[in-house]
Structure 1
Amino acid sequence: MSKFIRISLEKRGVSCVAELLEKEAPRTCAAVWEALGEGPLGGPAQHAKYARNEVYSIVRRFGPKIGHENTTVTPIPGDVCYFDFSGGVLDASFKEDQGIDQAEGGIDLAIFYGRNNLLINGDVGWVPGNVYATIIEGLPGMAEACHDVWRSGSVGEKLVYSRLEAVSPSSDAG
């Protein structure tokens, strides 16, 4: 039986539903699902500078080290990705701003809402992401809200991931 998560931009009041890709990314899906069993994951929403159409949040470390699984550097609209940034990877001022422990690092949970994305980071180069879910419902509304994060800013916005126990996909999956 498929598993689903809800992804929300709280301040903007917009959510979408994503289906976990358990066959393609079993370790990542298991770690995320288990972590969400303890409650929602999320934090300050950020819009990517380099990747293009990405909104993400850095969350506390959870689960075992997963490594690469079902990776991409060119995510498509609706991809939901997991990135593991160890302590020395990201810029110190960014980690401080995000409340990330300098030594421990954090997990980046990201959604991609438009085309032509390229996962490159000015600090470290190519950054493959584990694609562990795909948005099946609410992508158009979420894309509009994500674009607003880019245009209007992310101050006060929170990106939150939570478990959904059941879902029946609607016709707005596009």
Structure 2
Amino acid sequence: MARYIDITLTRRGVTCVAKLLDAEAPRTCDAVWNSLPLGVNAFHAKYARNEIYTLVDAFADEEPGLENPTITPIPGDVMYFEFAPWQLTPSTHGYGDVDTPAQGKIDLAVFYGRNNLLLNADFGFVPGTVFATIVRGLDEIAEASNDLWLRGVEGEVLRFDRHDGEL
């Protein structure tokens, strides 16, 4: 039976629904599903282009590893990335202040437009796991994501929850 998640920009009050890709990324889907709800501060990508994301502490008992990988996500892809502490230092990426030690994080990301390339100037290509695809509300989340880019992310939360109800 298919499993679905709600992905919400809470301040903007916009939610989309994504179908988990259990056949393509079973370990990642289970790790995310078993840890919901997830999400804190929302960010808009600087390099990848049409991406919003949240950084959460590791939540899986065992990291799922790379499944269903890509470096060129398409609109509607929902992705999982594991970042080591050295990859997200406060001094280079602005996640915390310079006196805070760097910590590893899980990046849960939503891609809402075309022409994305997961390339980081510090360490090259960044493959991630595509674990879900948006099946309802892509246009609405794209519009809200553009607003996030134009007006800023302060006070916004990107939240992932289990979907309850009809599609």
TM-score normalized with structure 2 length? 0.92
State how far apart, in whole Å, the 2-side matches of 1:140 and 1:73 are. 22
Percent of paired sites with the same residue: 55
**CA contact under 8 A between 1:42 and 1:159: conserved in structure 2?**
yes
Choose from 71, 77, 83 the match for 1:73. Answer: 71
Residue type of the alignment partner of 2:25 = A
Question: Cα offset for 1:167?
Answer: 3.0
- TM-score in terms of structure 1 length: 0.89
CA contact (8 A) 1:45 1:57 kept: yes
Write the distance in 1 (CA, Å) between the matches of 2:152 and 2:90. Answer: 22
Asked whether 1:138 is paired with 2:144, we answer no
Matches within 5 A, 1:75-114: 75-93=73-91, 94-96=94-96, 102=102, 104-114=103-113
CA distance in 2, matches of 1:76, 1:130: 13
Task: Give the match's secondary structure for 1:35.
Answer: coil
Deviations 1:44-78 (A, max 9, x none): 11000000000000011111112210010000000
| Counterpart residue number, 1:7 | 7
The letter for the 2-side match of 1:155 is E
Deviations 1:12-34 (Å, cap 9, x if unpaired)?
A: 01000000000000010010001
Tell me the matched-pair count.
162
Cα distance in 2 between the residues matched to 1:159 and 1:47? 10
Q: What CA distance in whole angstroms lies between the structure 1 residues aligned with 2:11 and 2:96? A: 23
Q: CA deviation at 1:124?
A: 1.7
Distance 2:166 2:73 in 1: 24
Which amino acid in the other structure matches residue 55 of structure 1? I
